[in-house]
Amino acid sequence: MGGTIEVQHLCKAFGGKPVLCDFSASIPAGAVTAVMAPSGGGKTTLLRILMGLEPADSGAVTGLAGLRQSAVFQEDRLCDNLSAAANIRLVNPTLSPAQVEEALAAVGLENCAGQPVSEFSGGMRRRTAILRALLAPWDILFLDEPFKGLDPGTKERVMADTRRRCTGRTVLLVTHDLGETQALGAVQVLRLPQPEARL
């Protein structure tokens, strides 16, 4: 599971425009931490830095070395030519057909395992992407506005399933919805300082 992740004085700018300004935080192991900021406020940039997809201009992150990562991005990133089950099993080939079926049914996708995701609606694709991340082997899960595009009833069902699968595990949730932080049982909500507020 790893220990506490320490984020120290992270800064990042694009084209001379600051996005992250001197951000520091402690992310506890075995719990959900939420990150909130206005649209364009640096939430996704922070996640990309923590995932190693984007270098910070300055600052440091410790505690991530050796941790297996899984993520739900804002885009679904599914393989359109594959079925729902095949997309999920790409990240965890050890899953049995029954396990995949059970997971799909839990989010309202029963009898969809063999269907190509190219035939799915946006909400169905979103649920498949979430399951793929949840069912991968991981020590830390990054969720970048994972529930966007889901209707309210489906969203509640998917959030409940996500919380069940994340209990006692390290999760970093990026969202603009305080209700999502509560639904996932976040132990803390980090609010990113906005550059204009520092001028």
What band does 193 get if pLDDT is binned at 50, 70 and 90?
confident
Global confidence as pTM: 0.95
pLDDT, tens digit, 9 for 90 and up, residues 14-66: 999 999 999 999 999 999 999 998 888 899 999 999 999 999 999 999 999 99
Strands (E), 79-138: none
Sheet holding 5-14, edge to edge: 17-27, 5-14, 58-62
Number of separate domains in the chain: 1
Q: Is residue 173 part of a domain?
A: yes
Cα 96–chain centre separation: 24
Q: What mean pLDDT value characterizes the chain?
A: 95
Owning domain of residue 135:
29-40+68-198
Say if 171 falls within a structural domain. yes
E strand intervals along the chain? 5-14, 17-27, 32-36, 58-62, 69-72, 140-144, 170-174, 188-191
pLDDT digits (tens, 9 = 90+) for 125-134: 999 999 999 9
Residue 10 maps to a domain: no
> The domain that contains 143 carries what CATH number?
3.40.50.300
Does residue 161 contact residue 155 with C-beta atoms inside 8 Å? Answer: no
Structural domain contains residue 19: no
Report the distance separating Cα 164 and Cα 173, nearest Å: 15
87 is a domain residue:
yes
Q: Is 97 within the bounds of a domain?
A: yes
CA gap 163, 156 in Å, rounded = 11
Question: Is 142 part of a structural domain of the chain?
Answer: yes
